[in-house]
Structure 1
Amino acid sequence: MGFMPSRWFSLVGLFWLCAYLYLAFKFHEFQSLPDVGLRQTEGTHVLLPVVPAVVPASPGSGAGEGALLSQSGSPAHCALRERAHARIFSQLTVAFPIIGTEPGSIYWKKDKHMGQRDKNFFAVERVYRAEWARQGVTVVDSLNATFIISKQPQKWLELCKNYPNHQVINHFGSMQKLTKKFMLARTMKNFVRTHKHRLHEIQRFVPLTFVLSDRMDCLEFGANVDRQAMWIAKDFFKHNAQGVRLLHEPEARELAASCLQHTAAERKTSSGDSTQVGRTLVQSYLQRPFLVQGRKCDFRVYLYIPVSEPLLAFYAPGWYMKCGHSQFNLTSRDVTNVVTNTKVKGKMREGANYSELVWGPEQLQSYLSEQGFAADWVRTVFAEQLKKKLGLLMEALGPVKGTGYELLGCDLMLDEDLNVWLMEVNNSPEMSASLGGRKAAVEGILRAVVGTQIDLMHFAASGKPREDLSLTDLPSVGELELVYQAPAR
Structure 2
Amino acid sequence: METSIAGSLDDLLEGHGELIQRFALPPRLDQGREPGGQFCWHWNVGRCGFGDECHRALWHYPTITLKTTVQPVTYHLLKRLLELNGCVMCDSVLKANLIWTNHFASTPTNIYPPHSVINHFPGTHLITQKNNLAWNMMKAAGASFVPRSFVLPTQMDEAITAQDSTYDQLWIVKPVGLGEGRGVKITKQIDREDYKELTQEYISRPLTVTGKKTDLRLYILLTSVYPTLDIYIYTDGLLRFAYADYDEKDINNPFVHLCNNAVNRAADRDINESNWTLNQFREWISNETELDFEDIWRQLCTLAVGPIVQIKHQLVEDYRRCAMEKKLHCFELFGYDVLVDENGKCWLLELNGLPDLSGGSKKARKSYAADFDVKTRLLSDAFSMVYYLRDERASRDIPKEIMGGFQRIYHEQTLTESIT
TM range (shorter): 0.7 to 0.9
The counterpart of 1:482, out of the listed 408, 413, 417, is 408
Query: CA shift at 1:153, angstroms?
Result: 1.8
The counterpart of 1:326, out of the listed 206, 224, 244, is 244
Query: CA shift at 1:125, angstroms?
Result: 1.9
The counterpart of 2:80, out of the listed 130, 152, 166, is 130
Query: CA shift at 1:368, angstroms?
Result: 2.7
The counterpart of 2:117, out of the listed 168, 177, 199, is 168
Residue equivalent to 1:382: 296
Contact 1:286 1:415 in 2 (8 A): yes
Structure 1 residue 224 corresponds to structure 2 residue 166 = no
Query: CA shift at 1:237, angstroms?
Result: 1.6
RMSD: 3.3
Q: TM-score, normalised by structure 2?
A: 0.73
Which structure 2 residue ranges, 5 or more long, are not aligned? 1-27, 54-68, 361-367
Pairwise mapping of residues 342-421 of structure 1 onto structure 2 (< 5 A)? 342-344=261-263, 347-350=265-268, 352=269, 354=271, 357-373=274-290, 377-378=292-293, 380-399=294-313, 400=315, 401=319, 402=323, 403=328, 404-421=330-347
Return the alpha-carbon distance in structure 2 between the equivalents of residues 140 and 340 of structure 1: 36
Return the alpha-carbon distance in structure 2 between the equivalents of residues 153 and 282 of structure 1: 25
Residue equivalent to 1:280: 197
The answer to which of 448-457 and 171-180 deviates more is 448-457
Matched residue of 1:132: which SS? Answer: helix
The counterpart of 2:98, out of the listed 136, 139, 147, is 147
Return the alpha-carbon distance in structure 1 between the equivalents of residues 370 and 32 of structure 2: 39
- The amino acid of 1:481's aligned partner reads Q
Contact 2:45 2:100 in 1 (8 A): no
Matched residue of 2:123: which SS? Answer: helix
Return the alpha-carbon distance in structure 1 between the equivalents of residues 186 and 285 of structure 2: 29
Residue equivalent to 2:22: none
Matched residue of 2:243: which SS? Answer: coil
Query: CA shift at 1:300, angstroms?
Result: 0.3
Query: CA shift at 1:55, angstroms?
Result: 6.0
Could you list the per-position Cα deviations for residues 461-487 of structure 1 after superposition, in whole angstroms to 9, with x for gaps in the alignment? xxxxx3x62424684222201122234
Residue equivalent to 2:382: 449
Query: CA shift at 1:436, angstroms?
Result: 2.5
Structure 1 residue 110 corresponds to structure 2 residue 28 = no
Return the alpha-carbon distance in structure 1 between the equivalents of residues 411 and 404 of structure 2: 18
Residue equivalent to 2:177: 237
The counterpart of 1:180, out of the listed 118, 129, 139, is 129
Return the alpha-carbon distance in structure 2 between the equivalents of residues 324 and 424 of structure 1: 17
Contact 1:55 1:145 in 2 (8 A): no
Contact 1:301 1:319 in 2 (8 A): yes
Structure 1 residue 97 corresponds to structure 2 residue 44 = yes
Q: Which has the higher contact order (CA 8 A, sep 6+)?
A: 2
Query: CA shift at 1:160, angstroms?
Result: 5.7
Distance 1:235 1:139, change over 3 A: closer
Pairwise mapping of residues 2-41 of structure 1 onto structure 2 (< 5 A)? none
Return the alpha-carbon distance in structure 2 between the equivalents of residues 99 and 225 of structure 1: 38
- The amino acid of 2:299's aligned partner reads Q
Residue equivalent to 2:186: 246
Residue equivalent to 1:300: 217
Query: CA shift at 1:296, angstroms?
Result: 0.8
- The amino acid of 2:117's aligned partner reads V
Could you list the per-position Cα deviations for residues 229-269 of structure 1 after superposition, in whole angstroms to 9, with x for gaps in the alignment? 21111111222222111111xx23xx2xx3xxxxxxxxxxx
Return the alpha-carbon distance in structure 2 between the equivalents of residues 479 and 174 of structure 1: 26
Matched residue of 1:365: which SS? Answer: helix
- The amino acid of 1:440's aligned partner reads D
Query: CA shift at 1:314, angstroms?
Result: 0.7
Matched residue of 1:286: which SS? Answer: coil
The counterpart of 1:314, out of the listed 232, 242, 246, is 232
Query: CA shift at 1:212, angstroms?
Result: 1.2
Contact 2:296 2:345 in 1 (8 A): no
Return the alpha-carbon distance in structure 1 between the equivalents of residues 256 and 216 of structure 2: 16
Residue equivalent to 1:206: 146
Query: CA shift at 1:166, angstroms?
Result: 4.0
Residue equivalent to 2:373: 440
Matched residue of 1:96: which SS? Answer: strand
Could you list the per-position Cα deviations for residues 348-396 of structure 1 after superposition, in whole angstroms to 9, with x for gaps in the alignment? 514x47565211133223333332447xx44x33222211221222211
Return the alpha-carbon distance in structure 1 between the equivalents of residues 109 and 38 of structure 2: 21
How many residue pairs are counted as aligned between the two chains?
Answer: 349
Q: Which structure dedicates a bigger proportion of its chain to strand?
A: 2
Return the alpha-carbon distance in structure 2 between the equivalents of residues 160 and 122 of structure 1: 31
Matched residue of 1:311: which SS? Answer: strand
Contact 1:298 1:321 in 2 (8 A): yes
Distance 1:235 1:225, change over 3 A: same
